[in-house]
Homo-oligomer: A and B are copies of this chain.
Amino acid sequence: MNLANLEQRMHKSKLAGFIIDCQTTDLDRAADFWGSALGMPVRALPPGEGEIYKQLDDLHHGLQIEVQAVNHPSRVHLDIESDDIEAEVQRLEKLGATRIQMIRTWWVMEAPTGQRFCVIRATSKDFDAKASEWS
């Protein structure tokens, strides 16, 4: 087997963080609650995403945490980040998860245990060092 080809089929993934989905029309108030509850500063995001997302700055765990205004019932969902979203989605399908919907650059999936979660593009600074590698 050609090692170069083998390497091409490897990909990485890790827990990116979680999104606090809030069924609300008052994103600021929702983000203020969760920022205060978790002791994390709330940061506005640029136009285009800032209307529905606010970031909570997690200084201690290196997680990406956001509060999102949604229309469905409130929940918390996990994000998995990967350097190859299609390969990661296929890996998760083999574990029993199902594809629900692609949104912009990420896939919404459903676990065999029922929770929705997302597979997103890797952006964590320490992604390469901390991610698991899959073949």
Contacts and interface: CB of A to CB of B under 8 A. Distances in A.
Nearest to A12: B39
Contact of A20 (B39, B58, B62, B113): B113
A101 interface: no
A58 B115 CA distance: 20
Contacts of A15: 38-40, 58, 60-61
A19 to B, nearest CB: 10
Contacts of A40: 15
A52 to B, nearest CB: 14
B75 A37 contact: no
Interface residues of A, number: 43
A84 to B, nearest CB: 14
A108 interface: no
Contact of A63 (B29, B61, B117, B132): B61
A23 interface: yes
A30 B113 contact: yes
25 contacts: A14-B38, A15-B60, A15-B61, A18-B18, A18-B76, A20-B113, A22-B114, A23-B113, A23-B114, A33-B95, A33-B97, A33-B111, A37-B80, A37-B92, A37-B95, A37-B117, A60-B62, A61-B61, A74-B111, A74-B114, A74-B115, A75-B76, A75-B115, A76-B77, A76-B115
